Chains A and B, each alone.
Chain A
Amino acid sequence: MIEAILKYNFLQNALYSALMASVVCGIIGTIIIEKNLVMMSGGIAHTSFGGVGLGYYLNIEPIFGALFFALFSSVIIVTIRRKTEVHSDTLIGIMWAMGMAVGILFISFMQGYPPDMSSYLFGDILTVTNMDINIMLILVVIVVFAITSLFNQWKSYLFDEEFSYVRGLNTNFYEYFLFILIALTVIVLIRVTGIILIIALLTAPPAIARLFTYDFKKTIFLAIIFGAFFSLSGLWLSYLFNIPSGATIILLIGITYFVLAFLTGKLKRS
């Protein structure tokens, strides 16, 4: 496979995108499982499908449409969450389905044969283009810089929002910023695992990491390592057997999580 990677641009792109996905998954995934924002992130991901549809309809790059929808929906969700007493669960459920519906409508408006949406829904890491790589790189740099440059503040905000607010931290800003970062992460992941499978890639690596450490920073680093290991192995398996990459990666990482959780749980009890 190494030879093939050196030879084929599409394999190099697949490799880069898997690695970049692991980095943002490790960081943002750790945050969303600690903050119980997993479903929220799933909602943002699915809403972005509306943007993919819009992109196809307007004949612009679907990923830009998705980016726009993801950002828009994340800001809307935070705003509604803050201003009303609507339960976030309800809100996410509605946005989730509405985003998908918008996407389906836009696709149906298109003349002629509808485009194949499956690479956006289920991901196809082997078709990642140079342009996708560039977009992903920019988003990854933004996410990494945003978290590392304000790491202590983030940690305080994530651990105890109320206390941080009383200490003078602008928690409003951090909440909006966090949701924007989740939206950016979703976009990085769309091409790798697809909208439907994103949640697993976001949650499983940090969940595995949490089996081994009680430290926030270590959780992030371990999650990145696990994410990279599993997405590369998944990529290799999918290339080898010619099976869908997104699904392979997710199953690999999901099964590993359950096996390890079972084993460590067992070890702890004995």
Chain B
Amino acid sequence: MEESVIVIKNLNVFFNEVPILKDIELKVNEKQFLAIIGPNGGGKTTLLKVILGLIEPDSGQVKIKGLDIKEGRKLIGYVPQISDFDKHFPINVKDVILMGRISDKQGFFHSYSQKDINLVEDIMKDLDIFDFKDKQIGRLSGGQLQRVLIGRALVAEPEILLLDEPTASLDAESRSNIYNILRDINDEITIIVVTHDLSAISSYFDSVACLNKNLHYHGDKNISQEDVDQVYGCPIELIAHGVSHRVLGNHSGDEQHD
């Protein structure tokens, strides 16, 4: 019997009395690789932010490994949208990833330990970003920056990884690169990806939920045409397995292309 790592019950979020999320029920099992898809404004990011405790729900319950959000979110690695933050900030790749080691435990005059630094370097090598560890983050390509943010989330040694639109504004190659990375990570970590990128669904994820205020979820990756129509409000062709996307093998040197 698989254990549920995230359980959401009867969740409602309103914004100025407009419902953003309605009666959301969701169970995420250990090592699951879940995609939450839906149109823009459908509440995907809101749902992530509720799970992370960044938005207080109006009603309902969220448990992370049986813990309340405040404790449970320490088990979560969060990868925000790359468009969300200031790329001009004077900081290099290594320092960004080190920030994943920050927690509420550090006191005055904290400095990163050798263990922190080793972990960060290992993860940078795994993600193939070690070569530009001293680069200012604004000088990276979208795919590189995305990997930096994944690295920052991973050095916190999370049990669950939450990603917000990790492939938005990336080219096809960087996209499959990111999904390949995630698939490897998924061997040990539960992953939830919020995306409107339908192309990757069939080959990488093991389950798909559709969100547009309401959540349509059957615990597997079978979404019916009916669900999609309902969620997107207009008929959209369901993308058949392996047709609309190319799965690329390992391609090193990815980053030189942009």
Complex CA gap A166/B54 in Å reads: 8
Q: CB within 8 A of B99: which of A151, A155, A218, A219?
A: A155
| CB-CB under 8 A for A219 and B90, given A152-B102, A153-B102, A165-B54 | yes
Chain B residues lying within 8 Å of A158, measured Cβ to Cβ, are 89
* Contact (Cβ within 8 A) A215 B109: no
Q: CB within 8 A of B152: which of A150, A163, A213?
A: A163
Complex CA gap A49/B110 in Å reads: 38
* Contact (Cβ within 8 A) B86 A152: no
Chain B residues lying within 8 Å of A163, measured Cβ to Cβ, are 78, 80, 99, 152
Q: Closest CB-CB distance, B98 to chain A, in whole Å?
A: 8
Interface members, chain B 70-128 (any A CB < 8 Å):
73-74, 76, 78, 80, 84-86, 89-92, 95-96, 99-100, 102-106, 108-112
* Contact (Cβ within 8 A) A159 B96: yes
* Contact (Cβ within 8 A) B54 A216: no
Count A-B contacts at CB 8 Å: 81
Q: Closest CB-CB distance, B126 to chain A, in whole Å?
A: 20
Q: CB within 8 A of A168: which of B84, B95, B104, B110?
A: B104
Q: CB within 8 A of A152: which of B52, B73, B106?
A: B106
B4 at the interface (CB under 8 A from A): no
* Contact (Cβ within 8 A) B89 A150: no
B219 at the interface (CB under 8 A from A): no
* Contact (Cβ within 8 A) B73 A166: yes
Q: Closest CB-CB distance, B64 to chain A, in whole Å?
A: 12
Chain B residues lying within 8 Å of A219, measured Cβ to Cβ, are 90
B156 at the interface (CB under 8 A from A): yes
B136 at the interface (CB under 8 A from A): yes
* Contact (Cβ within 8 A) A159 B78: no
A160 at the interface (CB under 8 A from B): yes
Complex CA gap A210/B108 in Å reads: 27
Q: CB within 8 A of A162: which of B80, B103, B109, B111?
A: B80
A149 at the interface (CB under 8 A from B): yes
Complex CA gap A152/B104 in Å reads: 12
Q: Closest residue to A215 on the B side, CB-wise?
A: B90
Chain B, interface SS category: loop
Q: CB within 8 A of B80: which of A150, A160, A167, A213?
A: A160
Chain B residues lying within 8 Å of A149, measured Cβ to Cβ, are 108-109
| CB-CB under 8 A for A216 and B89, given A160-B80, A169-B104 | yes
Q: Closest CB-CB distance, B80 to chain A, in whole Å?
A: 6
Interface members, chain A 132-161 (any B CB < 8 Å):
148-153, 155-156, 158-160
Complex CA gap A169/B85 in Å reads: 18
* Contact (Cβ within 8 A) A214 B100: no
Chain A residues lying within 8 Å of B76, measured Cβ to Cβ, are 166
Complex CA gap A168/B95 in Å reads: 18
| CB-CB under 8 A for A167 and B110, given A159-B89, A214-B92, A216-B90 | no
Q: Closest CB-CB distance, B25 to chain A, in whole Å?
A: 24
Q: Closest CB-CB distance, A117 to chain B, in whole Å?
A: 38
* Contact (Cβ within 8 A) B110 A152: yes
Complex CA gap A215/B136 in Å reads: 8
Complex CA gap A63/B198 in Å reads: 61
* Contact (Cβ within 8 A) A156 B99: yes
Q: Closest residue to B103 on the A side, CB-wise?
A: A168
Complex CA gap A269/B18 in Å reads: 49
Complex CA gap A163/B52 in Å reads: 10
Q: CB within 8 A of A159: which of B53, B85, B103, B105?
A: B85
Which of A169, A210, A219 has the most C-beta atoms of chain B within 10 angstroms of its own C-beta?
A169
Chain B residues lying within 8 Å of A79, measured Cβ to Cβ, are none
Please, could you name 8 A-B residue pairs with CB atoms under 8 Å apart, sorted by A?
A150-B108, A151-B110, A152-B102, A152-B110, A152-B111, A155-B91, A168-B104, A169-B102
5 further A-B contacts with Cβ under 8 Å, apart from A155-B95, A167-B100, are A151-B110, A159-B89, A160-B99, A164-B102, A215-B90
Q: Which 7 A-B pairs have the closest CB atoms?
A: A168-B104, A214-B136, A149-B108, A156-B99, A216-B90, A156-B102, A166-B78
- Taking Cβ atoms with an 8 Å cutoff, the residues of B that contact A are 52-54, 73-74, 76, 78, 80, 84-86, 89-92, 95-96, 99-100, 102-106, 108-112, 136, 152, 156
- Taking Cβ atoms with an 8 Å cutoff, the residues of A that contact B are 34, 148-153, 155-156, 158-160, 162-170, 210, 213-216, 218-219
